[in-house]
Structures are given as structure tokens and as C-alpha cells.
Structure 1
Amino acid sequence: MIKVRCAIYTRKSSEEGLEQDFNSLHAQREACAAYIRSQASEGWTLLAREYDDGGISGGTLERPALQCLLGDIAAGLIDIVVVYKVDRLTRSLLDFSKLVETFDRHGVSFVSVTQSFNTTTSMGRLTLNMLLSFAQFEREVTAERIRDKIAASKARGMWMGGVPPLGYRPDGRSLAIVEDHAALIRNIYARYLELGCVRRLADALERRGVRAPQRVTTKGKAYGGGVLSRGQLYFMLRNPIYAGDIAHRDTVYPGLHEAIVSRESWAEVQDLLARNRQGRRSGGRAQSEALLAGCIVDAGGQPMASTHTTKGTVRYRYYVSKDLHHRRAADGVRVPGREIEALVKETAAQLFAEPWTLVAELGIPPSPALMRQLGETCAEAAGQLRSRRGGPLRELLREVRVHGDRLEIALSRRALAQQLGASALVAEETEDTALVLTAPYRLTRSGNTLRLIQGDGARISAVPDTALVRLIILARQWWDQLAQGEIDVTTLAGQAGYTPSYVTRVVRLAFLSPKVVEAVLAGRQHSRLSPATVRSSIELPAAWAEQEAMFLVG
């Protein structure tokens, strides 16, 4: 008699009842084993290995026991697969066709104990496909009903299960406040409004030794106890449950539970989170936009929002006081974004130009190892700070406060020590006070564009003033025509549509020193030389040395 090797496959969709001594999987196995024994005269023999999937849906083939079964089939260890019902094998018609193809390829049949099918005939396959279609339909309808019930329950403010957010515990179809944990949530919201930056909030909590409270699931599994990451903090700050609401997809409903934070605090936090996201793009350029977002405030301590305007194909970024940006006030601060970022980066980079002065300022005790590495470390840090993305600037910054004539740049002493590779030399109990740098500046206007000028008159960013470059080109063209002697200033002015006095003032630029012209093309000239000064009656020295002394920086 030919020996027919039979494998029993069992499955249950939910985990409910699996902890019992005799559960649904055992019942399926007993029925299948009894059927195999009834076919002993045909040579059927039950294999010892068990293929049981408990708590896994039949809508997927990614089931551990099923994958083991398919592996043994491919290895030629099984002749017949026995199931209690066809839907134990799968509830998807597409998945069933894949399984039948696999069975046929390896010469394996399958048997349903409670349903009589012969898959070797076309009629048997048709009947089986019809049954599976109804099984798949039943699964999809059940899923729709569950989704509709969850949506309707959440619309009534009910808690529909899952892991409760920190600060709450399940209380029937609602949530009850865990006061110890709720105090931490309130502190996180208050500290974020104070610091204005999630990164700084995470650092502050870690320095104070604040950890996520340890909690235990209903099944006795412990979790929590680690450092609160920025991702966790973002989730807490954005979770509407803390304001007493229940979210379902894109809709928020009033919840039955009590709020932990007030509506006012919740709204302020969402507004600040939205402002801090401004100016950032997706992809590789995200870090180069709005470098100071979340760190920059005006003289009154009011956060400044990142905004922009576009002229043609050129995009100009600005930082604007919140109330001015939202048109709640007529007064406020508005500074060009790219140039103020350049000034902050340059000021921070210059701090590393005198390494030993910085070490003394931070109170770091000198050591031979520190002496050997300090020069190279500071040069590398300065280069990174001057880069487009600012290197470690965000880690160093505590705050940038914009006054009418200066910036106050507050840097973290602990982060500076870490940048020098000397954080281990700073005592743990030392308070991380800010090191405040001052950078004088003034605002000027070139056409309709705001420019930031340093205290010594140098422009912040090395970007050529296109209006001034065009005037120099025009001056040389006009001088070439006048030098030929075939036209005078009055005629030339009439042809160009300007007054003779304006043409005379512009033509003076044709006699600029070559070094001054090079500085203009590089965007490094003194702020005294601009389209506005050209249009005025300022005296332009004839000697190139005097021009260079007046218009070159440093």
C-alpha cells in the first residue's frame, strides 16, 4: 500500500480563547485527525509536525505556520493538506489561486473535512471558487462593519481601545487621568512654549533626567522608562486627546474623557509647531531653509515666523515678528532671512578663531590631549558653521534675539564643549548657561529689497547687487558713446529717457578702481557703494586708492 503523508493546517483569526486548555485550534486538529484515521485503508498517515496559526487573519499569506507548510511542500514532505474548512486555509480568492497553483506544481492535494471537493475536476474548482468568493465577501463586509462601528463610536467621543497615551488609563469606553503622568504632560507643554523648539525641549528634559514613566499593558508587559525622544515629544504635542478630543482619520471629535491641558495651551502649541515647520521643504534642501526657525525672537521675546516672497524666479526669505506676520499689529521686526542666517553663522564661526579664549570662557581645564586636537577641531567647526547648512549651528543655538541695531546670539556652553570634544571635562552638575554673543548690524534697502549690513559696513552675504552691476555696465556703455565725441550728455540723456544730471552721476561709475569693481561683482563692497548712493550727489574720489579706502571692507 502506498503511504500518503497528510499534514493538518489550523487557523483562528483572533487570540481570544487561545489561552484555554482546549481551544478552537485543538478542535480543528481533532476533527482533521479523525478524518485521516478514517482513510487509513487508503494509506493516509498523519505527520507529527503541527501547523497552527493562532490570532492571524486569513486575508494574508504571511503566516508563520502557513509558510512552514509551503516550505515542507516544496521539499516534497507532504502529499495532502487537510483543513477543517476551506476558509481556514485562506479567505482571499486571489491567495487561494496562488495556493492551488503551488499545490499542483508539487503534486499536493488538499481536503476540507466539512466540505466535499475534488479539485482535480473543473466542476470541483468552480464550486470551490464560488465558496471562496463568499468567504472573501464575508470578510470584507465584516471589516466594513467594524470600521463603521469604530467611526460612529469615535464621533460620540468614545475611546476604542489600543495603547492609551501617556497620562491616561482605559476606563471602559473612555479614559481616566493618571495624575502623576498628567503632570509630566503639562510640564512638557509649558516647557515647549517657553523654549519654542522640540530639540531644545528634548535636551532640557534629558539634562534633568526626565524619563518616560514605566507602564504595564493589560497582558502584563512592561514598557517605557527610556529617554523621551523628539519623535515621542512631537506625538505628545500634536495629540488632540490631551485637549479632550478624539481623532478619527482627518476629523477630530469632542471626547468623553477629561482634558489634561487647556484649549488655550493646546492652540498655542499647535500654532508654534506650525510656525516652526515654515520655510522647510521636503527632500535634500529641507535643512537649508529657515535655519533659525524656532530659535529666533524679536527684542520683546516674541517668536519670529519664517516667510518669503517671490519676484520672477527669485525667492526672498524673511523672518517677521509673529503679530506683524499675522497682521495683528502694525509694528514689528522684519529682517532678510538668508543674510541674518549668514551673520549668525559667521559670528559663531569667529568664536572658534581663538580656541584658548573659548576654552577659558567655557571654564574647561586645559590638558595635553585637548591642546593637541584643539586647533584642528576649531578650524573644522568654523568651516562647518560657514557652510550652507550651518553644520552644528542648530545644536549650538539657544536663541537669536533681534534688536534694532544688533543681534544677541545665545549659544549652549555644554554644546560648545561637546563640539570641542571636551564635554567630559565639564562637570555634570554644572548649569548649562548660555554664552551670549553680540553682532552689530543695520538694515538698508536696495531697490525694494532689504539688506543687512554689519557694524563695520560690510555686507553680510557675498551676493552681488545686480542693480549696482547693471549701473556699472550702463556707465561704461554711456562713457564709450561720450568719449567718441559724437554725442553730448543732454542728447544722450534724451535718447535714454533720463535727466542729464542722472546720466552724469551714473557715468562716474565708469572710472571705478578695478579692485572696487571686483568687490562689487563678488558682493563684498562696503555699504557706502549702492544704487542709492550713485543716484545721490555723493562725491566719488578720482584717485583709485581713495576709492578703495572708501568702498572696500577690511
Structure 2
Amino acid sequence: MKPVRCAIYTRKSSDEGLEQSFNSLDAQREACGAYILSQASEGWIALPEVYDDGGLSGGTLERPALKRLLAEVAAGRVDIIVVYKVDRLTRSLFDFAKLVETFDAAGTSFVSVTQSFNTTTSMGRLTLNMLLSFAQFEREVTAERIRDKIAASKARGMWMGGTPPLGYEPNDRTLTIVEEHAALIRHIFTRYLALGSVRRLQEELAAERTTIPSRVSISGKPLGGGAFTRGQLYAILKNVIYQGKIGHKDKIYSGLHEPIIDEDTFAATQAMLADHLQGHRSRAAAAETSPLAGRIVDDAGEPLVANHACKGKVRHRYYVSRALQHATATTGLRVPAREIERLVADAVADLFTKPFELAAAASLDLPVHQVEAFHARAAAMAATVTERRSPILTGIINEVKVGDRAVTLTCETAALADALQIAQHADAPATIEISCPARLIRSGRALRLVQDNGAVAQATPDKALVRLLVQARRWWTILRAGDISISQLAGREGVTSSYISRVVRLAFLAPSVTDAILAGRQRAGVTAASLTLEGEWPSDWNAQAVSFLPAKPRLTS
């Protein structure tokens, strides 16, 4: 008879009693072992491995022994899982469905020694689901009862456990002041009000070599001993416990313990913290505003809304189709915000670098005696409009339309005239358009906005290409001295003579192309590899600019 390999799984929600020589886990394992022994005639044998999860809830699958057991199931080394009761395996219906799917895929079944059912039939599965529903209900009711008890106790001002804050030690259901530590807490509040900055307070404490007093928790875990961090100081300054209060979620109750900080000092501290936090948030919001919000649309005229996603500490902003954001559609646009904003700013800046063309398109009234001043103002605007968060840009742009192959900017001529401090003709058009050939492409996992034939909107210098330019200048300086030949230099550098020749010609790139490469503004596809390939490229600087630099936006009325 083919042996049936049985794994015994045991679990206990709390760690109470686990230190005993014969505990609940042992009792469960003994009952399961006896059941397996009763099925010996069917070929059942108990595997020697022990799968015990003590002190772990059945509301989650994040249990070490269960994970080991599932790995054995996936490897095909377990035929039957034996548990004392179904809720030892899981108390969640959702988790149970996942486990059953895993068991079915591996051809594994499970048995509860105190509950008789057969999961191969629909009635057996219904019975099992009913049992798990009651187990989940029991767990949720118990959790609610505990939460209600904690809320009611805190409303009466009781201390409900946990690590006591510095300055106190637990005393049954209240806290007792530790005067030595309380003196340090009073010093922290006093110095913060005097210095007006948590950063300066931290620096002062560090200079005075003031550290967090060493303590030991009830469980014996060492606490403190290091220098104060700003996060710890913020937590101390905002902790209502020092005012003699107990906080629970968004409510604050009078505590049974004595305060360390008087009400006036605590209120003044909170007011100062609120002022500083408001200023910080204002600066953060200003740094991450979306200037095109309300102005950017797709090709059909549907608005794109400002949105963002956080990856680690990095905040990525986008302009997204409303339907895509609300998950009412699976298609739409998701445009990287900084790239489209850079594209728009560069296009408007380029518009100001062509003052006469701009004056003609916007029907500006340009007297001869104002030409010089007009040129100067246009040049100043070209430099200003590319600055981050420039208010001039949002005043000029009426609409940004993102199409399949181009981004079209609609600019208000009246705003342009005001910015340049010049009048318009009576029949001047209300708006002019700037067409920027650009399209969205996917680069790896990221969406990139590239202009005309591939220039990336958000400039990022190619480090490999920049290093190659430096190498070209260095090698040309050596060769120009005349003390060494190309073949000798190639032998010394460990490369071929043809590679030296292909790299050195980069020393003769047009200044405009070199500047663009250093700024990351070259045409897409212009890389270290492409510039060192076999074959000729233009020696004429104008021809190089055409080949290696992106085209300028087109102005239309």
C-alpha cells in the first residue's frame, strides 16, 4: 500500500501557558497523532517534522510554521494536513479559499480530527465554510470587545499598557512620575520654546551630550541610551500624556496620572509646532504644485487632472485622464508632470527668443524707438519663464493639448503683451498656438515624453556620453603634442587605433552640440555608442546641429 504522508499542524493564538512542559500545542499534536495512528490501515503515517505556531493569530497567514508547511505542500512532500480543529488552520474565509486553492493544486487534502466532513463534496465544503464563518465572526467580535474595553478605559483616564513615555513608569492602571526623567522633559519643553526650532533643540542637546535615559520595559527589553532624534523630540513635544491627559484616536480625556508640563506651557508648545508645521506644509505644497492643472487636456478636449504616486520617499507627479483616475475606463493618458511642464516652459522660452516673430504672430504694436527695450524684455522673459514655479508661465498659457504626435500650446496674446509691456493692435488675435512635436513612449516601466524625433522633455545628461567627451578632449590633447602616435596611444590605453580615431573626433563637435550633451538636451538616440560607430558624421557645425539636436517648436497663429 502506498504510504499517505501526514503533516500535523498546531496553533495557539496567545503565548499564555506555552512555557509549560505539556501545553495546548502538545495536546493538539497528541490528538492528531492518535487520529493518524487510527488510520494506519489506510497507509497513513505521521511525518516527523513539527509545525507549531504558538502565540500567533489565525487571522493572518504570516506564520513561520505554516509557511514551512505550505512550502512542503508545494514541493509535493505532504499528502494530508491534520489539524485539531479547522480554526487552527485559519479563521479567515478569504485565507481559507487561498489555502484550499493551494491544496487542490498540489493534490493535498486536510482533516480536522474533531470535526467530521468531506471537502470533496459540495455539502462538505458548505459545512466547512459555515464553520469558518463562525470562527471568523468569533475573532471579529472578540477584537471589537477588546477595542471597546480599551476605549472605555481610556475615557476614564486609565493607562492601558504599552511602553510608558519617558518621565513616567507604569503603576497598575495609571502612571507615576519618575522625577529624574521628568526634569529632562521639562527642560526639553522650556528649551524648545526658547529656541523655536526642533532642529536647534536637537543640536543643543547633542552639544550638551544629553542622551535618552536608559530604561527597561516590563518585558525586560532595554530602552533609550542613545542621542535624541528630531522624530523623538517631536513625539515628546506633542504627547498629551505630559499634560496629564490620555489620548485615544482623535479624542483626548483627562488622565488619572499627574502632569509633568503645565497647561500654558503645553498650549504654547502646540501653537509653535502648528505654526512651523503649517509653514513646512506650505513650502512642500509650493514645491510640488502642478502649474498646468486646469489647463491641460487630451486630444479630445477632455481635461487631465493632477495626480501623484509615491515610491519610497520619491513623489512622482502626473496629469491623468479623469476616467483613468476614477477607474471608469482602462484607456487614457498618464503624462509625467515634470516632463510636460519642462516642455511647455522651454517652448514658451523659445518663443521669447524670437521677439520679431512673436510680435508679428501676436500683432504687437512695436514702435521703432522701443525695439531695443523690447528685445531686452523678451530676453529677460526667456530666462525667467523656465524658472521653477514661474508665475509668468501660468499667466500666459491658456491651454495645453496633448495629442498623439504633438503637444499644442495655446497662449493668450494679451498676457504676452502685458508681460512684454507693449500694446497690441486692435485686430490682434486672442490667442496664438505653439506646436511641439512630441509623443509619449514607454521606457522600461516608466512613461517618457519625447519631442519631435525623440528628444526627452526632462533633460538628464548621459553620464557615459559626458565621460566620452572628456576622454576625447584628453586624447586629443595628448596627440596634438606630437610626442605619441595613435597606435602607440592605443597600445597604452588598451584599445584599438580605430576606436581612438572614432572617439577623438568628438573633440571637434560643434559647441552647441557639446553644450546640449552636457545639459542632456541632445536628440534621442545620440549616445556614446552611436557617436563612436564606424562611419562618418558631418564635420560642418551647422550640419551637426541638424543631425544631433532636436528641432524647434513651430509657432502658428
**Into which bin does the TM-score normalised by the smaller protein fall?**
0.5 to 0.7
Q: Hey, what's the Cα distance between the residues in 1 that align with 2:50 and 2:150? A: 36
The 1:122/1:514 distance shift into structure 2, 3 A limit, reads closer
In the alignment, residue 186 of structure 1 is paired with which amino acid?
Answer: R
Could you say what secondary structure the match of 1:184 adopts? helix
The residue number in structure 1 matching 2:80 is 80
1:514-533 to 2 correspondences below 5 Å: none
Could you list the runs of 5+ residues in structure 1 that have no partner in the other structure? 290-312, 314-476, 484-509, 525-554
| Per-residue deviation, residues 431-485 of structure 1 (Å, max 9, x unmatched) | xxxxxxxxxxxxxxxxxxxxxxxxxxxxxxxxxxxxxxxxxxxxxx9997xx9xx
Deviations 1:58-92 (A, max 9, x none): 11111111111100000111111011110000001
What amino acid does structure 2 have at the position aligned with 1:168? Y
Q: Please give the residue correspondences for 1:361-380 in structure 2 after superposition, counting only pairs within 5 Å.
A: none
Return the letter of the residue paired with 1:66.
L
Mapping for residues 348-359 of structure 1, pairs under 5 Å:
none
CA separation of 1:520 and 1:24: change in aligned 2, threshold 3 A = same
The 1:261–1:516 alpha-carbon spacing in structure 2 relative to 1, beyond 3 Å, is farther
Number of residues paired by the alignment?
A: 311
- 2:225 corresponds to: 225
- What residue in structure 2 maps to residue 211 of structure 1? 211
Letter in 2 for 1:145: R
Name the CA distance, whole Å, in 1 between partners of 2:42 and 2:378.
98
Structure 2 residue matching 1:53: 3-state secondary structure: strand
Distance (whole Å) between structure 2 residues aligned to residue 225 and residue 187 of structure 1: 18
Q: 1:272 to 1:288 in 2, by over 3 A?
A: farther
Task: Show structure 2 runs of 5+ residues with no match.
Answer: 295-363, 385-557
| Aligned equivalents of 1:286, 1:216: Cα separation in 2 | 44
Following the alignment from structure 1 to structure 2, what is the Cα–Cα distance between the partners of residues 248 and 144? 15
- 1:312-351 aligned at under 5 Å gives the runs none
TM-score by length of 2: 0.52
The 5 A counterparts of 1:433-444 are: none
Structure 2 partner of 1:103: 103
Alignment of 1:167-316 (within 5 A): 167-281=167-281
Deviates more, 1:280-289 or 1:146-155: 280-289
Find the aligned partners of 1:244 and 1:99 in 2 and give their Cα distance: 49
Q: Which residue of the partner structure matches residue 9 of structure 2?
A: 9
User: Distance in 1 between the 2:51 and 2:365 partners?
Assistant: 92
- Counterparts of 1:42 and 1:2, CA distance in 2: 9
Deviation at 1:179, TM superposition (A): 1.3
Give the counterpart letter for 2:180 in structure 1: D
CA distance in structure 2 between the partners assigned to 1:520 and 1:107 by the alignment: 76
Distance in 1 separating the partners of 2:97 and 2:272: 53
Secondary structure of the residue that 2:281 maps to in structure 1? coil
What amino acid is aligned across from residue 229 of structure 1 in structure 2? T
CA, structure 1 residues 266+84, in 2 after alignment: closer, same or farther (shift >3 Å)?
same
Partner of 1:71: 71
Alpha-carbon distance in structure 1 between the residues aligned to 2:266 and 2:90:
47
Cα drift, residue 20 of structure 1 = 2.1
**CA displacement at 1:516 relative to structure 2:** 13
What does 1:131-146 correspond to in 2, within 5 Å? Answer: 131-146=131-146
SS at match of 1:115: coil
Report how far residue 44 of structure 1 moved.
Answer: 1.2
User: C-alpha deviations, 1:312-345, integer Å up to 9, x for none?
Assistant: x9xxxxxxxxxxxxxxxxxxxxxxxxxxxxxxxx
Mark the CA change 1:103 to 1:283 in structure 2 (over 3 Å): closer, same or farther. Answer: farther
Cα distance in 1, alignment partners of residues 125 and 288 from structure 2: 61
Counterparts of 1:519 and 1:111 in 2: how far apart (Å)?
82
The code of the aligned residue for 2:168 comes to: Y
Distance in 1 between the 2:185 and 2:378 partners? 55
- Verify: 1:153 aligned to 2:153, yes or no: yes
Query: Aligned partner of 1:203: which letter?
Result: E
Aligned to 2:460: none
Structure 2 residue matching 1:2: 3-state secondary structure: coil
The one-letter amino acid of 1:271's match is A
The DSSP-based 3-state class of the residue aligned with 1:52 is strand
Partner of 1:461: none
Write the letter of the residue equivalent to 2:199. Answer: R
Separation (CA, whole Å) in 1 of partners of 2:366 and 2:49 = 99
Query: What's the counterpart of residue 113 of structure 1?
Result: 113
- How far off its partner does 1:278 sit? 2.2
Q: SS where residue 278 of structure 1 aligns?
A: helix
Give me the whole-angstrom Cα distance separating, in 1, the residues matched to 2:365 and 2:38. 110
**In the aligned structure 1, how far is the partner of 2:265 from the partner of 2:32?**
62
Amino acid at match of 1:276: H
Compared with structure 1, are the counterparts of its residues 283 and 18 closer, same or farther at alpha carbon in structure 2 (3 Å cutoff)? farther
- 1:223 deviates by 2.4
Q: Distance in 1 between matches of 2:366 and 2:29?
A: 102
Q: Residues 43, 215 of structure 1: CA spacing in aligned structure 2 closer, same or farther, 3 A cutoff? A: same
1:62 aligned onto 2:58: no
Shift in Å, 1:281: 3.2
How far has the Cα of 1:208 moved from its partner?
0.8
Measured in 2, the distance between the counterparts of 1:190 and 1:224 equals 21
1:184, distance to aligned residue in structure 2 (A): 1.0
Whole-Å separation in 1 of the counterparts to 2:125 and 2:379: 83
Equivalent position of 1:29 in the other structure: 29
Q: CA distance change for structure 1 residues 517 and 19 in 2, over 3 Å: closer, same or farther?
A: same
* RMSD after superposition: 3.0
Residue 168 of structure 1 contacts residue 176 of structure 1 at CA under 8 Å; is this kept in 2?
A: yes
Deviation at 1:514, TM superposition (A): 5.5
Looking at structure 1, the residues matched to 82 and 365 of structure 2 have their Cα atoms a distance apart, in angstroms, of 97
**What is the CA–CA distance in structure 2 between the aligned matches of 1:87 and 1:8, rounded to whole Å?**
14
Give the drift of 1:122: 1.1
Deviation at 1:274, TM superposition (A): 0.6
Q: 1:207 to 1:85 in 2, by over 3 A?
A: same
Amino acid at match of 1:185: I
Provide the secondary structure at the position in 2 that maps to 1:281. helix
